[in-house]
Amino acid sequence: MYKVTFRHPAFPYGKQFGLTGIGAVENGKSILIDEDAARRFKAMFGKTLDEFFEGHGHVQVEIQKGGGH
């Protein structure tokens, strides 16, 4: 399970951003990505979520242990 948090200071809190292949997230909030969606993302982009967003100042990716359903 991945937790993806999007924070962009140039946009208002709550503005929706689309993250290709995984859905939308509001500025200042997080979404949980299950393992199936994470695998589809890797197949689409050739990188895991954490590799893809590494060094991206506005998107934080955490790997969460357990189900979190």
Instruction: Give the ranges where the chain is alpha helix by DSSP (H).
Output: 35-45, 49-53
Residue 68 DSSP one-character state: -
Cα torsion angle, 13, 16, 18, 23, sign = positive
Residue 41 DSSP one-character state: H
The model's pLDDT over 46-62, given as tens digits with 9 standing for 90+, comes to 999 889 888 887 888 88
pLDDT of residue 41: 92
The model's pLDDT over 29-47, given as tens digits with 9 standing for 90+, comes to 999 999 999 999 999 999 9
